[in-house]
Structure 1
């Protein structure tokens, strides 16, 4: 067990109750002061979760990046880090750009939610003891991946802004799986008109197919008007 002059405060922010309780009980057995935040009770928001977490004055925060209806836990990393807390992020995604963004925001490291409990515990102990948990080269590589993805997404959004209102509506229909005939019928235009609009969409997005255009829109988190 790690030895500290005073018990280290660890705050667990995770909407997976069983996992959070398992971590909390194991840490408490080792002498840590653990606070598990209940974020399942309404009307929890990112702001209220942050305020509650800060009141616990944590040395370390174990933070789930997907907080369900509460929102994206990544947005809590920077303010928690600014308060002096060390953040260990947990995520179910394998997207390295998302991992890198968490590190860019200030997290000490990122762990997969598929990680065994003993690995999570080892990481928390290392962070509490001030030991490194991620090699600097690996950390920078992940951050670079996040920056590249952010820049690519920004470029896609710039291209999406070039679309006219009608083209946005057509792209939205394509994203819903509608065919040219259905789009033309719904908008009372000819199929040739719809194909012309699709051709314009592909040109403006600089993509070679409808599938690529749809993928670009989803990648940028774009939503059609209305």
Structure 2
């Protein structure tokens, strides 16, 4: 076990777009005697490079990262570069999706904590890192990685189903994702409603779902990008 660093020299950076939570976390850590900095999260989606550089310029020992950073996007994209730079990344998130937690761990996060947990648990995690102690059991780590692996396998399967659609079926699914009815699709595409119904039926069969709503939900779940509709 390595010797603990003086708390005043133990720098922590917070990457969090929820101001009240960030302020509460900053105050609690500061009262504990740590050197705490906050980095402003960009208010629009962009490459994470600048944000990562801003964090690393502060030379932190620990970085707290939220998985949902508003318009900037998924905080998961910050984890691997920070971990590779030798930073201890702790994810504190409102997400209850354990597959996402597993992906965070796979990318290098030392610990994932829900925001619903007491601040004392977060402080205890920092203390253990400062003391060179483990903050996640092997069992917990393997359980989260299994959750990620199962979700990834399911995503691969769903993506394969979407790729089995014909060009025309993909266009119809794109119309459904825009909230259009069979009649509206038929009118816009200048085809018979029966033709569209047949195409929708084929889409449901290939995606192995029983409703148009489920088909749209599946497409959103895997982040499927519909073709650009010209009509």
What's the TM-score, normalizing by structure 1?
0.89
SS at 1:225's partner residue? coil
Q: What residue number does 2:81 align with? A: 79
Distance 2:115 2:163 in 1: 36
Deviates more, 1:205-214 or 1:64-73: 205-214
Q: Is the 8 A contact 2:15 2:66 kept in 1?
A: yes
Check conservation: 2:4, 2:132, Cα contact below 8 A: no
State the number of aligned residues.
225
Aligned to 1:14: 16
TM-score normalised to structure 2 length: 0.87
Give deviations 1:9-63, integer Å, cap 9, x for gaps.
1111111222222222222222211111122577975211100111111111111
Equivalent runs, 1:171-182 vs 2, <5 Å: 171-182=173-184
Once residues 41 and 205 of structure 2 are traced to their aligned partners in structure 1, the CA distance between those partners, rounded to angstroms, is 45
Deviation per residue, 1:128-152 (Å, 9 max, x gap): 2222222211211111111121122
Select which of 28, 31, 50 maps to 2:30. Answer: 28
Residue in 2 that maps onto 1:195: 197
Residue 208 of structure 1 and its aligned partner are, at CA, apart by: 3.9
Instruction: Work out the CA distance in 2 between the residues paired with 1:152 and 1:63.
Output: 26
Q: Which region of structure 1 is more displaced relative to structure 2, 79-88 or 215-224?
A: 215-224
1:1-226 pair list within 5 angstroms: 4-5=5-6, 7-40=9-42, 45-226=47-228
Deviates more, 1:94-103 or 1:134-143: 134-143
With over 3 angstroms needed to count, the CA separation of the structure-2 counterparts of 1:99 and 1:197, relative to structure 1, is same
- How far 1:101 moved relative to its partner? 0.6
The Cα RMSD (Å) is: 2.2
Name structure 2 gaps, 5 residues minimum.
Answer: none
Contact 1:46 1:71 in 2 (8 A): no
> In structure 1, how many angstroms separate the alpha carbons of the residues matched to 2:84 and 2:50?
17
Residue pair 1:90, 1:111 contacting (<8 A) in 2 also: yes
Q: Distance in 2 between matches of 1:121 and 1:213?
A: 44
- Distance in 1, matches of 2:202 and 2:60, equals 53
Cα separation, 1, equivalents of 2:153 and 2:44: 36
